[in-house]
Amino acid sequence: MIEYALLFAFTCYGLALLMNIYRIIQSPGPGDRILALDTLVVNAIALLALFGILEGTTVYFEASMIIAMTGFISTVSFTRFLLRGDIIE
Amino acid sequence: MIIEILISACLVISGVFGLVGSFGLIKLPDPMMRLHAPTKATTLGVGGALVASMLYMHFVNGTFSFHELMITLFLFLTAPVTGNFLAKTHLHLNRKASDLPPTATDRPWATYESDEMRERIEAAEDASAD
C-alpha cells in the first residue's frame, strides 16, 4: 500500500514542479517569479523526502536541509534586492 | 497494518496539498491571492511528506532520525518570513501609497517610509520619551 501512496505522491509533486516551472517561464511580474522559485524549492525538498522513503536511507536529509537553507536565503535576497536595490547594506 | 495506513494517508494528503498549492499559484487571479496558495498549502504538503518519512524510518527501517523534524521546523519558521517579504515586494512594485487604507497612526505604511522620514520620526519619539 505504501508503494502506491508513494507513487501517487511522486506524481503529484512532479506535476507541481511542472506547474512551478510554467509559472517561472510565464509570469505576470517579478514577485510571482520569486514566489514560484520559492515553491519550487519547497517541492524539491518534499521530493527528496519521498526519494528517501523509496530508497530507505536517511542520506538525503542533509541535502534537503541545505536546499531549505539556500532556498530561504535566495528568496530573501531576491525580495530584498527588489525592495531596497541592495542586498547587504 | 495501522502504521502502513497512517504512512499512506500522510503521503496521499501531502501529495494533494502540494499539488493544490502549485495549482493555486497558476489559477488564482490576483498577486496577493497567489501568495496564499504556496505559502500555506505547500508548507503543509511538505510537512506531511516529512512526517511520513519519519514514521517510515522509525517503524519500517528501525532507525529514528530528528532531521525531518528539523527540516519541518525550519520550513514552518521560514514560510511566514518569505510570505511577508513577498507581500512587501508586491506592495512596493504594484501599489501606490494612495491606494492603501490609512494606518490610523501618524506614521505611514512601513514599506513607503523613507530612511530620512523614519530617522526624523524616531528622533522625535526619543525626544518625547525623555
pLDDT tens digits, one per residue of B18-74: 999 999 888 888 888 888 888 888 888 888 888 888 888 888 878 787 888 888 888
- Cβ distance A76 to B85 less than 8 Å, yes or no, reads yes
pTM of the model: 0.84
Sequence ranges of the domains in chain A: 2-84
Residues of B in contact with A61 (CB under 8 A): 65, 67-68, 71
| Own/partner pairs, B73-76, CB within 8 angstroms, 24+ separation | B74/A65, B74/A68, B74/A69, B74/A72, B75/A42, B75/A45, B75/A68, B75/B43, B75/B46, B75/B47, B76/B43, B76/B47
Phi, psi torsion values for B75, nearest 5 degrees: -65, -40
Chain B residues in contact with A2 (beta carbon < 8 A): 4, 7-8, 11, 56
> For residue B105, how many other CB atoms are within 10 A of its CB?
6
Chain B closest CA to A86's CA: distance in Å?
13
Contact A79 B26 (CB under 8 A): no
When the pLDDT of each residue in chain B is averaged and rounded to a whole number, the result is 84
pLDDT at residue B113 in the model: 73
Gap from A63 CA to chain B (nearest CA, Å): 11
Is ipTM > 0.90 here? no
B88: confidence class by pLDDT, cuts 50, 70, 90? confident
With H, G, I as helix, E, B as strand and everything else as coil, classify residue A44. helix
Q: Cβ B68–A49 below 8 Å, yes or no? A: yes
**Per-residue pLDDT tens digits for A56-79:** 888 888 888 899 999 999 999 998
pLDDT at B29: 86
For the record, the C-alpha cell of A63 comes out as: 541535502
How confident is the model over A3-51, as pLDDT tens digits? Answer: 888 999 999 999 999 999 999 998 888 888 999 999 999 999 999 988 9
Place of cell 504594484: B94
